[in-house]
Amino acid sequence: MQDAGVVIVGSGQGGFQVAASLRDDNYAGPITLIGEEPGLPYQRPPLSKSFLSSKAQPGQIELRPAAFYADKNIKVIASQRVTTIDRATRRVTLASGASLPYRHLVLATGARARMPAIPGAKLRGIVALRTLTDAKVLLAQMQPGRRVVIVGAGFIGLEVAVIARDKELDVRVLEFTDRALKRAVSATSGDFLASALTQRGAKFSVNTGATGYTGSGGRVTGVITSQGESVMADLVVIGIGVEPNVDLARNTGLQVQDGIVVNERLITSDPLISAIGDCARFPASYSDSSLRLESVQNAVDQARCVAARIAGKDEPYAKVPWFWSDQGVNRLQIAGVAQADDCAVLRGDIATAKFSVFRFRAGRLTAVESINSAGDHMASRKLLANPACISPEQAADTSVKLAALAVAL
């Protein structure tokens, strides 16, 4: 019987990487990559960086040119949503009505932007930033002098805010919690980046959410805040996080819990289906509870792990997570995963805009946030492989060479 091969649902960062890594690992069977977005697989990070600042064109953010897929015999089906999975017959159905068989199925369905369901939410001019289409819409509206309200001081909100200031928009950021990047980094790093933004002329309101929008002629004209203020806006950017795309998995009876639940080999509750990237919830040796991470590193390394297993090299997923965010002149790099109450130890001088914050839990290193300190970040990725190897005192002492500690491991 003909090999039904590997079918990958979702042609984003992770889906693309499964296909590419399968060929790197000498997998010779059929590979089909199905994505609901138009065009070839592309990178999302530039959407809130070089693309939005008009320094990159759509073609420049594609992961590979069309010839790559032809050379590698990878079938790409674009602009097609997978609507159902029939696990009994091992087939997926597309929105077009076509269906195709699989030997192994990989779900790399990513996540979608969360949008507040508040009065006025359907007005034009309220945008999220998840896809290239979103980015094109946003870019077209970022005209100098316009007033943009950014709801949410997470990574995407802050990156957009910096570029909007560079483009001479009037920028107001609303953050529901008491500080920027509260979910992701220490107060030291979050406050530094928020302060850099206000120095660039953005206004920043904490403990302030959006409770509704005002509009005229179907277009947004303002945001009503939880403080009772009405903030004028020509454009509203929503950056309040994402929801994993799990409907397909849930509807076919796979275990789902804020993400598609997988084991340490990234296999779902069906041994013929794997899940990776933003949509997957996996057990991590360095965390008490399972995790769902949203980063390029996570999607790429999980893709490589699944591809290697399908190609015959079965190993559990065990990579140190890392992430970056570019905000104007400042680059934040994070290695590891901290919990909100992990203690924070400063290394370096905040005033120089070059420092790191080491996070510890019960004396063990959990994460390192580095601002404009690539050397600290690279060493930290090695240190995190053995979290007991550095003490808070050593972390704070800049005469202790991190690279030397890492090499000694």
> Which residues in this chain contact ligand FAD in the complex, by CB under 6 A?
9-15, 34-37, 44-45, 47-48, 81-82, 108-111, 129-130, 156, 245, 248, 277-279, 294-297, 299, 323-325
Q: Is 111 helix (H, G, I), strand (E, B) or coil?
A: strand
Give residue number: closest CB to ligand FAD: 12
Question: Taking the complex as a whole, how short is the minimal distance between the CB of residue 239 and ligand FAD, in angstroms?
Answer: 9
Of 160 and 202, which has the nearer Cβ to ligand FAD? 160
Of 82 and 406, which has the nearer Cβ to ligand FAD? 82
Q: With DSSP H G I counted as helix, E B as strand and the rest as coil, what are the percentages for the chain, rounded to 5?
A: 25, 30, 45
Of 127 and 224, which has the nearer Cβ to ligand FAD? 127
Query: 225: which residues sit within 8 A by CB, 6+ positions away?
Result: 174, 205, 208, 209, 210, 211, 231
Question: Taking the complex as a whole, how short is the minimal distance between the CB of residue 227 and ligand FAD, in angstroms?
Answer: 28
Question: Taking the complex as a whole, how short is the minimal distance between the CB of residue 226 and ligand FAD, in angstroms?
Answer: 25
112 - beta bridge partners?
243
Question: Taking the complex as a whole, how short is the minimal distance between the CB of residue 362 and ligand FAD, in angstroms?
Answer: 27
Of 296 and 389, which has the nearer Cβ to ligand FAD? 296
For 46, 221, 231, the CA distances from 340, given in Å and listed in that order, are: 28, 36, 31
Question: Taking the complex as a whole, how short is the minimal distance between the CB of residue 385 and ligand FAD, in angstroms?
Answer: 19
Nearest to 161 by CA among 242, 236, 243: 236
Query: 205: which residues sit within 8 A by CB, 6+ positions away?
Result: 172, 173, 174, 175, 225, 227
Q: Is 13 helix (H, G, I), strand (E, B) or coil?
A: helix
Of 51 and 360, which has the nearer Cβ to ligand FAD? 51
Of 36 and 342, which has the nearer Cβ to ligand FAD? 36
Edge to edge, what strands does the sheet with 330-336 contain?
322-327, 330-336, 364-371, 354-361, 343-349
Read off the tokens for 339: 């919990």
Contact 156, 327 (CB under 8 A): no
Of 275 and 345, which has the nearer Cβ to ligand FAD? 275
Question: Taking the complex as a whole, how short is the minimal distance between the CB of residue 94 and ligand FAD, in angstroms?
Answer: 8
Nearest to 12 by CA among 239, 245, 260, 299: 299
Question: Taking the complex as a whole, how short is the minimal distance between the CB of residue 129 and ligand FAD, in angstroms?
Answer: 5
Angle at 294 between CA 34 and CA 220, to 5 degrees: 85
